[in-house]
Amino acid sequence: MSVTTAPDAQLAACASCTAPLQGPYCHRCGEKRLDRRDYALGHYLENAVDTFTHFDVKVVKGLWALLYRPGRMTADVLAGRRVAWPKPLQLFLIANVLYFFVAERVGMLIFSSPLRFHLHNWYGSWAQARLAAHAAAHHTTVAALTPEFNHLSEGLSKSLLFVFIPLLALVLTGLLWRRRHYFLEHVVVATHLLSQFLLSSLLLLLPAVLVFGLLDLGHVSLSYEQRDTLSTGLLALILGAWALPLLRRAYHLPRLPALLLTAGLIGGFLVLLQFVYRLLVFAVTLALL
């Protein structure tokens, strides 16, 4: 082999798996063929700008699609048309940050769980006994632990929100068990649904705060539990309004089956919120207290 042919031979094979190259990327492992331009500073900066630009465009496009045309992005992702859309988990994280950033400032956190809520929930007696035992073990009182519990619980309510994704996927698996979808397909749909729910909730936050403000001005006193129940009901309606077209497009369902699926999903969401998520927040908060 001559010196002049050696570089060509090296360029014709993948540097990682040595498979013959038929283009700029290896068809076997995906490795990119190197070029001298890849080491140029201008090329590096160009790629950096391009990466951040595409990230922003994809995320904004995905957030807008969830509200403007629910289900279009989900159907595309399930069909393998993924290049134009952000990754589902990436989209959820952005929606989560947006929701809690806005909701904290208007004072309406549907997922927050201060101690008084846990003590008046269906597991209140058990929660009170566990908290009293924890206080006794640390030689303090429940009243002294309450501020720290509320602060810790507020943070955990954000980070533990992701548990809804596999749980909603399980609900969808049960409701659509005859269609034999892969579980990860339901995970994608559940991730988009939860992201959509957080975004659509933001549309209701300001009107709900105004309504509660008018009630306060009219001296109509609502307890925390009553406000939470009212907020949950309103948000369930919002969830259904946006979830229906998403589910219909994602699973290619006629209108009536999609409506029944949406009703089942809302019921499952409320059950998970009341009987699983908030109990989990309490248990984790107490364990870390």
Tens digit of pLDDT for each residue in 25-51?
787 777 777 666 665 666 666 666 555
Q: Of residues 210 and 157, which shows the higher confidence score? A: 157
Three-state secondary structure of 252-278: CCCHHHHHHHHHHHHHHHHHHHHHHHH
- Residue 110, judged by CB atoms within 10 A of its CB (0-12, 13-18, 19+), counts as buried
Question: Residues near 156 by Cβ (< 8 Å), separated by ≥ 6?
Answer: 281, 284, 285, 288
Q: Annotate 155-200 with DSSP letters as a single string.
A: HHHHHGGGGHHHHHHHHHHHHTGGG---HHHHHHHHHHHHHHHHHH
CA distance 269 to 274: 9
Average pLDDT of every residue of the chain: 80
5 — pLDDT class (breaks 50, 70, 90): very low
Lowest mean pLDDT among 76-85, 193-202, 222-231, 280-289: 222-231
CA distance 162 to 180: 24
Lowest mean pLDDT among 171-175, 176-180, 281-285: 176-180
Alpha helices in the chain (DSSP H): 6-11, 41-68, 72-78, 88-106, 115-119, 124-137, 142-159, 164-175, 183-217, 224-251, 255-272, 278-288
Look at residue 289 in the predicted model and tell me its pLDDT: 87
Instruction: Report which residue type is found at 96.
Output: N
CB 192 within 8 A of CB 66: yes
Domain coordinates in residue numbering, the chain: 69-288
- Residue 75, judged by CB atoms within 10 A of its CB (0-12, 13-18, 19+), counts as middle
Look at residue 168 in the predicted model and tell me its pLDDT: 93
260 — pLDDT class (breaks 50, 70, 90): very high
